[in-house]
Chain A
Amino acid sequence: MSRFLLPFGVFLVLLGFLFVGLKLNPREVPSPLIGKPVPEFTLPQLHEPAKAFSPQSMRGRVWLLNVWASWCVSCRDEHPLLVDFAKNHQVAIVGLNYKDKPDDAQAWLAQLGDPYTLSVSDLEGRVGIDFGVYGVPETFVIDKQGVIRYKQIGAVTVDALQGKILPLIRELDQG
């Protein structure tokens, strides 16, 4: 009898995994960059292309890097949250304007509000690759030592902001 129960047992295990699998999102790939130093880059600023920006200049501060583009639909969803966040908190948000036309990007910000301390133009998306960006928007939380501590894949939501990003920023600010 017992050996004939084996197929049933195997099936139960399989069923368990499939059940858990229903709640997982196979499209959300965790970043290997968590806990690693932020990739170095130098890019022209969106509003003043003559000025360059490098993450080096953010040493000693906790900051957010938000990858966005004017062609990106879900960026519109998260944008009001970011604008709101910028108004109420003293945390710098750097925008990485990913594979966008600077004119379009500036018009977009002019229309929807600009939550960014500054934005930089990644015209060819090379810096995006260094950050492992695979879908816009993405948001990174970077600590005072320049280490990436968290990555939000997809639009920032109220839940993610209140539940993860803000508490993390507070904790990092203490340290």
Chain B
Amino acid sequence: MRTLAAILLTVLAAVGGPAGANEAVPTAQDPVAAKRSVELARKLRCLVCQNQSIAESSAELAVDLRRQINEQIAAGRTDAEIVGFMTDRYGDFVLYQPPLKVTTVLLWAGPGLLLLLAVLVLRRALRQQAETPAPVPLTGDERARATRLLREEAAAGRDAAR
């Protein structure tokens, strides 16, 4: 089997060998399939790696799983079937987008709930704000004193800047 593959490769290499400026051969023959394959691989987590998708990882298992994806796409399987193939073997852990289940309801609803809570708190805060009495306006004396102080301050500022 292996020798056969080796022979085939040599023949292929000889046929398609570099004779000039050839258009490079895509590693996957069909660009649409290749795109699908990469998109699928991006959504799947490589189990042996620290935290990488199997599209990104160069670990052997990731290479094998990419090959699986390519073969299954070639065999006409749908994305859902391929993802199912992975979860049947490795569990939901391989999915970077966790499916909506009882256990993940809070995960998916969480941001919405947080937002709702925040909006309620915000509304209350704004209403309270609007109800707080306006501050007592400054008396003429106070205003004059403040203006004087501010003017002094501005003068000092100019000095310092000089």
Q: Which residues of A contact B (CB under 8 A)?
A: 29-33, 99, 124-126, 129-132, 134-135
Contact = CB atoms under 8 A, between A and B. Distances in A.
B82 interface: no
B91 A32 contact: yes
A89 B93 CA distance: 35
B52 interface: no
A153 to B, nearest CB: 10
Contacts of A32: 87-91
Contacts of A135: 47-48
Given A99-B60, A134-B61, A129 B48 contact: no
A51 to B, nearest CB: 17
B68 A129 contact: yes
B37 to A, nearest CB: 16
A30 B47 CA distance: 12
Given A29-B90, A126-B64, 8 more contacts: A29-B47, A32-B89, A32-B90, A129-B89, A134-B47, A134-B61, A135-B47, A135-B48
Contacts, number: 34
Nearest to B64: A125
Contacts of A30: 91
A32 B90 CA distance: 6
Contacts of A134: 47-48, 61, 90
A31 B61 CA distance: 16
28 contacts: A29-B47, A29-B90, A29-B91, A29-B93, A30-B91, A31-B90, A31-B91, A32-B88, A32-B90, A32-B91, A33-B89, A99-B60, A124-B64, A125-B60, A125-B64, A126-B64, A129-B64, A129-B65, A129-B68, A130-B89, A131-B89, A132-B89, A132-B90, A132-B91, A134-B47, A134-B48, A134-B61, A134-B90
Nearest to A133: B61
Contacts of A125: 60-61, 64
Contacts of B91: 29-32, 132
Contacts of A132: 89-91
Contacts of B65: 129
A114 to B, nearest CB: 25
A57 B155 CA distance: 98
B103 to A, nearest CB: 13
A113 to B, nearest CB: 27
Contacts of A33: 89
Interface string B84-116: 000111110100000000000000000000000
Residue from A29, A99, A134 having most chain B Cβ neighbours under 10 A? A134
B1 to A, nearest CB: 9
A67 to B, nearest CB: 12
A139 B88 CA distance: 18
Interface string B35-79: 000000000000110000000000011001100100000000000
A108 B89 CA distance: 29
Nearest to B92: A32
Nearest to A31: B91
A33 B88 CA distance: 7
Contacts of B68: 129
